[in-house]
Amino acid sequence: MKIVVLDGYTENPGDLSWAGFEQLGALRVYERTAPEDTVSRIGDADVVITNKTLITKEILAACPAIRYIGILATGYNVVDVAAAKEKGIPVTNIPTYGTAAVGQFAIALLLEICHRIGHHDQAVHEGRWTQSVDFCFWDYPLIELDGKTMGIIGFGRIGQCTARIAKALGMRVLACDAQESDSGRAIGEYVSLEELLAQSDVVSLHCPLFPETEGIINKNSIAKMKDGVIILNNSRGPLIVEADLAEALNSGKVYAAGLDVVSSEPIKGDNPLLAAKNCIITPHISWAPKESRQRLMDIAVENLRAFADGKPVNVVT
């Protein structure tokens, strides 16, 4: 097999190995690929591995040697899966690799909002504690989570992982999901979206991006929330109407937001959330601990190995 990785840098900036793919065929790895270079870099490769580089209908038509597309992520909207299906090209993804990392990061965003550890650490290093007349100081309200309610929209693996950590902190967990499960009932209480919005002190998003979930956090849904609610999103950026959230943050309706994803990435300079009050934004790194990326690499290799053996797995189309 001739294998090309179009944008390998974020998955492997140098601390992992591509050896698993090298064992399966002749491998070329590019750190990044501009849209105008995609066709030439694929060339006569029959296996294409991509993370965020788009594989469109036009690219598939221009690269007739392609027999397999592997995505180094869970989401597969970067590939025209309908066009791939028409050509009989299996497209695989990595469905479960970062559950623990993403759940941990959601809680990290919440704890940062509750304690502003980064801000206060910087204040100490700038000399403010040295100069203080009191033995302590704080610049933001400090929030105890015990006894508060977390509402989780999307209660799959990551939502439930987040819930288990929240429960360990003493929080009550409400969940809203189209598919209820026994594992979910063991952790939280399934309620309607309306009830979740009304009762939650913290609303955390862990649902996939579908037409029915796009913009699920908007002016109308925010109006149904408690005053001073905290909103977390390290799932998909377009789940939130960003102008509406920025307005709610600036008015104080929403106390704070912790976001690891936005609607367009990298974030654009005119994104209204950049200037919003109490909005913590990180650059889409929930998934990125080395342990998580190693699992992703291992699964991606096994996906290709299964295809080569005639028994493809994790096929999205």
Place of tokens 């908007």: 218
Instruction: Check pLDDT > 80 for residue 138.
Output: yes
Confidence (pLDDT) at 156: 96
Check if 236 is active-site.
yes
What's residue 276's pLDDT? 98
In one-letter notation, the amino acid at residue 199 is Q
- Given a contact cutoff of 8 angstroms between Cβ atoms, the answer to whether 245 and 256 are in contact is no
Q: What average pLDDT is seen over the chain? A: 97
Place of tokens 């299906």: 85
The answer to whether the predicted template modeling score (pTM) of the entire model surpasses 0.85 is yes
Establish whether 116 is a catalytic residue. no
Q: Which of 119, 157, 164, 284 is catalytic?
A: 284
3-state class percentages of the chain: helix first, strand second, coil last, to nearest 5: 35, 15, 45
Distances (CA, A) of 207 to 109, 159, 251, 282: 17, 8, 27, 19
End-to-end CA, the chain: 21
pLDDT band at 249 (very low <50, low <70, confident <90, very high): very high
Count CA within 13 A, CB hemisphere, residue 287: 22
Q: What is the DSSP string of 58-69?
A: HHHHH-TT--EE
Task: Report which secondary-structure segment, H or E, holds 19.
Answer: helix 19-22
Q: What is the mean pLDDT of residues 251-266?
A: 98
Q: Which of 22, 126, 144, 265 is catalytic?
A: 265
pLDDT at 130: 98
The residue from 120, 236, 293, 295 that is catalytic is 236
Round to whole Å and give the CA distance between 12 and 92: 19
pLDDT in tens, 170-217: 999 999 999 999 999 999 999 999 999 999 999 999 998 999 999 999
pLDDT category of residue 317 using cuts at 50, 70 and 90 = confident
Annotated catalytic residue 265: yes
